[in-house]
Chain A
């Protein structure tokens, strides 16, 4: 069962309830200058148990932490936003571009895998064509895949794909 946002955030220790709606977070937010993201409103909505889980604005946060640093109440706003995001993903909300990034890591172990141009660039710089990462060690990639299965992340992404 999905938890009400206020309970979820309080249980995780993000104390959104102590917000006094001063607006410092919103005034500090670089994203809010260009997008509809209004941090103060998210905090208020979460506190009032409105359905923030389906709020598109959650995904406009660059996680720059400026709001959190400046909040006079010391509320862990960004960590809370990440928690709200995760809950919404478990409810089936996932932007297609993010799903693709997740699939890349599941498949290659990297969010940005190597390509031919950069294999050539590495060689031109006198470096090995493949870096010392999972790209060079298949068993290590295998471990990553096993862990993703163990946490059920593969299912989560698969289900999101079916919903699109």
Chain B
């Protein structure tokens, strides 16, 4: 297992720091050789940067990857957006020498050079492929008796040509990881649907993006779940804060707590919900906290 550097992105450290803390806790508990990726920036967000100017997107993404190359580590992302952005950029660069030349000309401005020696990983596929469901199960000391709606999020599995994670219509690897914590992964209608936040839609067309989330939340609520589990802080924000926005705008109230998988796993390893920032979410529910604590 190659050592990894932790790429935080924007939303985790700056809006949901509990996810950052939980991630570090579980990586330690699982004995992963990880280090902070010092000085990293926004991935940068493809909805804006890739959509505006491809060379700028590639240059900034390459800078983040080079920081990790310099440490001889693979990049570990905790966010589907960061993963999509950095792994797609890495993939393009690894396969196009003339593009690398162009990007390296820009990077030379800050004495950097992309060499293509690091891979970009997502924590969920890293857990699945490198750690394994069995080892995760062994690390769970406080199995959770809860029903969860799992949200894969789009860029963890798509575009599939570079992901090597099997079917995108009916994937199961994340469900297996979820159930390793003792939780039950509950089926719900249109499970693979997008949360509606990506591609710059949340920032520019909030109401439309919330209509998409509302459809997801309704299906989750109909399935009678205790919580939502995700792998992406942007989906997390959309499904957590989005519930507040949806209540204000459309009058629907769901009140379903939202957790990143790292937070859930840390709790299943015996850490308190508060220590991984669950009480900092917008949606808080006593009943659910009690269930986790008990």
Taking Cβ atoms with an 8 Å cutoff, the residues of A that contact B are: 30-31, 33-35, 59-66, 68-69, 76, 78-79, 82-83, 85-86, 89-90, 94-95, 97-98, 100-102, 105, 109-115, 118, 121-122, 125-127, 131-137, 139-141, 143-144, 146-148, 150-153, 156-157
Neighbouring B residues of A90 by C-beta, 8 Å: 53
* Cβ-defined contact, A125 with B110, below 8 A: no
11 contacts between A and B (CB under 8 A): A30-B215, A35-B205, A59-B204, A64-B198, A140-B38, A140-B40, A146-B109, A148-B60, A152-B56, A153-B56, A156-B52
Neighbouring B residues of A82 by C-beta, 8 Å: 46, 50-51, 54
**Cα–Cα distance between A69 and B197 once the two chains are bound (Å):** 19
Neighbouring B residues of A95 by C-beta, 8 Å: 200, 204
**Cα–Cα distance between A7 and B18 once the two chains are bound (Å):** 47
Name B108's closest neighbour in chain A (CB-CB): A150
B165: min CB distance to chain A, Å: 12
Name B11's closest neighbour in chain A (CB-CB): A112
Neighbouring A residues of B193 by C-beta, 8 Å: 30
* Cβ-defined contact, B55 with A151, below 8 A: yes
* Cβ-defined contact, A101 with B17, below 8 A: no
Q: Which of A85, A112, A133, A139 contacts B40 (CB 8 A)?
A: A133
Q: A78-B159, A101-B45, A137-B38 are in contact. Are A147 and B60 (CB under 8 A)?
A: yes
Neighbouring B residues of A83 by C-beta, 8 Å: 54
Neighbouring A residues of B280 by C-beta, 8 Å: 121, 125
Q: Which of A76, A151, A157 contacts B106 (CB 8 A)?
A: A151
Q: Which of A94, A125, A140 contacts B39 (CB 8 A)?
A: A140
Q: A69-B160, A95-B204, A131-B13 are in contact. Are A63 and B42 (CB under 8 A)?
A: no
- Mark the stretch among B117-125, B134-142, B206-214, B242-250 that contacts chain A: B206-214
Name A131's closest neighbour in chain B (CB-CB): B13
Q: Is B127 at the interface (CB under 8 A from chain A)?
A: no
Q: Is B36 at the interface (CB under 8 A from chain A)?
A: yes
Q: Which of B17, B51, B106, B215 contacts A147 (CB 8 A)?
A: B106
Q: A61-B199, A118-B15 are in contact. Are A127 and B39 (CB under 8 A)?
A: no
Q: A61-B199, A111-B42 are in contact. Are A153 and B53 (CB under 8 A)?
A: yes
B106: min CB distance to chain A, Å: 5
* Cβ-defined contact, A101 with B275, below 8 A: no
**Cα–Cα distance between A113 and B17 once the two chains are bound (Å):** 12
* Cβ-defined contact, A147 with B10, below 8 A: no
Q: Is B158 at the interface (CB under 8 A from chain A)?
A: yes
**Cα–Cα distance between A18 and B10 once the two chains are bound (Å):** 39
